[in-house]
Chains A and B, each alone.
Chain A
Amino acid sequence: MPDTTLPATRELSYAEAIREALAQAMEADPRVFTLGEDIGVYGGAFGVTGDLVHRFGEERVIDTPISELGIAGAAVGAAITGMRPVLEFQFSDFVTLAMEQIVNQAAKIRFMFGGKASVPMVVRMPAGSGTGAAAQHSQSLEAWFAHVPGLKVVQPSTPHDAKGLLLAAIDDPNPVLIFEHKLLYKTKGHVPAEPYRVPIGTAVTRRAGSTATVVATSIMVHRALEAAEALAPEGIDAEVIDLRSLRPIDTAAIEASARRTGRLLVVHEGVRTLGIGAEIAAHVAGSEAFDFLDAPIMRLGGRDAPLPYNPVLEKAAVPQVPDIVAALRSLAAGG
């Protein structure tokens, strides 16, 4: 295995970090296998699985027919009978075909059987816009699943977290959905060589600041950080929290930061209306942090429209750095 000869921390891409986590999990545990469309010899639509089929064989890196409901059903069944399946949907949009297995079966079985069965399965999904793939291949549907008790939902924003959250998800005795952002697959970052876990349900502060708190998810973490750096010379010192996990949600981290800064902006790519930002805003408004708010809570999210194919409109449909800059300026001025 070449990994062991590398230094402890190397630069890996987000896609490579996910592949390394899959390989390490399969090396460590014969119950772990992965299945999905074109993940074998083709190496995955976004190249995530790469050479895994050559390293672990077709029994553990299974190319499936184009049948999302069938893939999910096979994974739920395998998980109930003691395996640790990691399934990939080629685009997260296709999860709509598998809703029955994920929402009605995977999320409920533990409860329907009084804890005597559980579904330790992981669903990996490329999500988000920015690739010119139009309305049916560009959505951010994570909030749908975060609404379902019995599911865990995470959104890694860095190669480090992509590996650590995937390993934590595989360990988890219950179903975990991972929304990976397509634009992040080629981004690079430091990734420890040894296996490690990022605990599900913990947010992380990516930038400390005192003027306002920005809670961001996935690629919006990077856009929020860029906006924060752009505003620093103006004396607007934003704190950026990477939520990482939508369910369970790290409300303590959000509350503590909002209490300190008194201003809160939530930024996500999923549609703003009835989105995760609404949940966070409502939570903070109803928490002890309310008494520390010095401006109305702001939200940025996707527009109320299917993602356009036109690249200019596609960009305009979801928050970009200038949108976050403008929102933070407004928030700093009282909202």
Chain B
Amino acid sequence: MAVDVIMPRVDMTMERGTIRAWKAQPGDAVREGALLFEIETDKSAMEIDAPASGTLGRILVPAGVEVPVGTLVARILAAGEAAEAGSPPPPIAPAPSQAAPSDLPPALAAPAPRVAPPPAGDAPRPRATPLARRLAREHGLDLASLRGTGPRGRIGRADVEAARAATSTAPAGAAASAAPPMAFHSSIRADLGALLELRARIAAARPGSAPPGPTTLLLRLLAALLPGHPALLGATGGSVDVAVALAHEEGTRLAVLAGLQGRRAEWIAAELARLAAPGAAGAAPPPPRHALVLANVGRIGIEGHAAAPRRGEAPVLAFGAIDRDRRATFTLAADREALDPAEAMRFLSRLRDFAAAPWLAL
């Protein structure tokens, strides 16, 4: 592991320093604590020792060049390490007000760009709310193509939703930018009052233990419902294997609950907890095939989400936020090659009936 050598701060007021002389050359063996280079500040001169033992790599700041405190001036390489090993050192910017000396090495020649410059000559960034930006990003919509109806033409959530509604009813060609050509989605509103009532009764019957969450209850319904939809189980050979999309800081990962048919809610809840635990991802690779991906997007307040599964990927069932009337939107998105839209609609319709009357799952 290479060790960075930086321009040190040798007194409280020091802002910049100049290397007066290097006492070792690239390729020389250096020893921790031995003199490596001399510096000059506006007040004093100092000898600086090597911070580690090894081989001196490329010298990034030659003698005679003034640089700010903290600037990487060289690297000390460990045994067996090549000069180019590791990530290349970041380019060093001389203070912008000072003209760079003409003999600067290439690493010093260009200031490090901290912020990407605005694209010259481009149209101004569309005026849009943070929520509208996020929704447009999630649905693959280009903000520049949307019309804002808010103050000063600002694009809000309503404008993004209007554009989405327009693209999903437009002829196939018009929606081409939003989703792969063969993907479709269907939505249904379901009354979850009875399901939530059931949950409350479970909670009352077992004080002290957490009642099953909405994801668990929905998986329990799917365990009863999916065997009646063999078209959805083709990929798993009839087994009710459902992947749950688990949100993580790094993104989303899928956890597969295999063999759901006949499972009780307690088993599902325990399995979910096990799979969601940190570190569970690496423990065992999930079975590659699953009938359905369940995404509880309502957990973060999303009302509906039309996923865009690629060719060969399983259909995605998005479970939207439960509103104050205890209703939620389910959106099934699938590749038309994998699932007949009519079958998707039959499935959603039965899901709604099961959710409204969960005893049917018995």
* A and B are partners in one complex rather than unrelated chains: yes
Q: Does A333 contact B (CB under 8 A)?
A: yes
Q: Specify which chain B residues have a CB less than 8 angstroms from the CB of A259 in the assembled complex.
A: 300-301
**How far apart are the CA atoms of A174 and B220 in the complex, in Å?**
50
Q: Are A295 and B324 in contact (CB under 8 A)?
A: no
Q: Does A210 contact B (CB under 8 A)?
A: yes
Q: Are B130 and A292 in contact (CB under 8 A)?
A: yes
Q: Does A175 contact B (CB under 8 A)?
A: no
Q: Are A333 and B130 in contact (CB under 8 A)?
A: no
**Shortest distance between the CB of B335 and any CB in chain A (Å):** 29
**How far apart are the CA atoms of A334 and B130 in the complex, in Å?**
12
**How far apart are the CA atoms of A208 and B324 in the complex, in Å?**
10
Q: Does A294 contact B (CB under 8 A)?
A: yes
- A174-227, CB < 8 A from B: 208, 210
Q: Does A27 contact B (CB under 8 A)?
A: no
Q: Does A44 contact B (CB under 8 A)?
A: no
Q: Does A3 contact B (CB under 8 A)?
A: no
Q: Are B301 and A295 in contact (CB under 8 A)?
A: no
**Shortest distance between the CB of A247 and any CB in chain B (Å):** 27
**Shortest distance between the CB of A322 and any CB in chain B (Å):** 21
Q: Are A294 and B131 in contact (CB under 8 A)?
A: yes
**How far apart are the CA atoms of A127 and B150 in the complex, in Å?**
39
- B292-340, CB < 8 A from A: 300-301, 324
**Shortest distance between the CB of A29 and any CB in chain B (Å):** 33
Closest to A288 in B: B300
Closest to A291 in B: B134
Which of B130, B134, B151: most chain A CB closer than 10 A? B130
- B49-93, CB < 8 A from A: none
Q: Specify which chain A residues have a CB less than 8 angstroms from the CB of B16 in the assembled complex.
A: none
Find B129's partner among A210, A260, A295, A333 (CB 8 Å cutoff).
A295
Find A290's partner among B130, B150, B151 (CB 8 Å cutoff).
B130
Q: Are B131 and A262 in contact (CB under 8 A)?
A: yes
Q: What band does the interface of chain A fall in when counting residues whose beta carbon is under 8 Å from B?
A: 10 to 19
Find B151's partner among A210, A291, A292, A335 (CB 8 Å cutoff).
A335
**How far apart are the CA atoms of A333 and B300 in the complex, in Å?**
24
Contact (A210, B324) CB under 8 Å given A260-B301, A290-B130: yes
Q: Are A262 and B157 in contact (CB under 8 A)?
A: yes
Q: Specify which chain A residues have a CB less than 8 angstroms from the CB of B301 in the assembled complex.
A: 259-260, 292
Interface 1/0s, chain B 114-136, versus A by CB < 8 A? 00000000000000011111100
**How far apart are the CA atoms of A295 and B131 in the complex, in Å?**
9
Q: Specify which chain B residues have a CB less than 8 angstroms from the CB of A335 in the assembled complex.
A: 150-151
- A277-301, CB < 8 A from B: 290-295
Closest to A261 in B: B301
Q: Specify which chain B residues have a CB less than 8 angstroms from the CB of A208 in the assembled complex.
A: 324
Find B156's partner among A260, A292, A334 (CB 8 Å cutoff).
A334
**How far apart are the CA atoms of A291 and B301 in the complex, in Å?**
12
- A317-335, CB < 8 A from B: 333-335
- B129-150, CB < 8 A from A: 129-134, 150
Q: Specify which chain A residues have a CB less than 8 angstroms from the CB of B300 in the assembled complex.
A: 259
Q: Are B324 and A334 in contact (CB under 8 A)?
A: no
Find A291's partner among B130, B154, B156, B324 (CB 8 Å cutoff).
B130
Closest to A289 in B: B130
Which of A208, A210, A259, A293: most chain B CB closer than 10 A? A293
Closest to B150 in A: A334
Q: Specify which chain A residues have a CB less than 8 angstroms from the CB of B129 in the assembled complex.
A: 262, 293-295
Find A333's partner among B132, B134, B151, B324 (CB 8 Å cutoff).
B151
Q: Are B151 and A334 in contact (CB under 8 A)?
A: yes
**How far apart are the CA atoms of A76 and B326 in the complex, in Å?**
53
**Shortest distance between the CB of B325 and any CB in chain A (Å):** 11
Interface 1/0s, chain B 144-171, versus A by CB < 8 A? 0000001100101100000000000000
**Shortest distance between the CB of A257 and any CB in chain B (Å):** 11
Which of A262, A290, A295, A334: most chain B CB closer than 10 A? A334
Q: Specify which chain A residues have a CB less than 8 angstroms from the CB of B132 in the assembled complex.
A: 294
Q: Specify which chain A residues have a CB less than 8 angstroms from the CB of B130 in the assembled complex.
A: 290-294
Closest to B128 in A: A294
**How far apart are the CA atoms of A271 and B132 in the complex, in Å?**
32
Q: Are A291 and B150 in contact (CB under 8 A)?
A: no
**Shortest distance between the CB of B155 and any CB in chain A (Å):** 10
Q: Specify which chain B residues have a CB less than 8 angstroms from the CB of A292 in the assembled complex.
A: 130-131, 134, 301
**Shortest distance between the CB of B352 and any CB in chain A (Å):** 23
Q: What are 13 inter-chain pairs, A to B, with CB distance below 8 A?
A: A210-B324, A259-B301, A262-B157, A291-B130, A292-B131, A292-B134, A292-B301, A294-B129, A294-B157, A295-B129, A333-B151, A334-B151, A335-B151
Given contacts A291-B133, A295-B150, A334-B151, 6 further A-B contacts (CB under 8 A): A259-B300, A293-B131, A294-B132, A333-B150, A334-B150, A335-B151
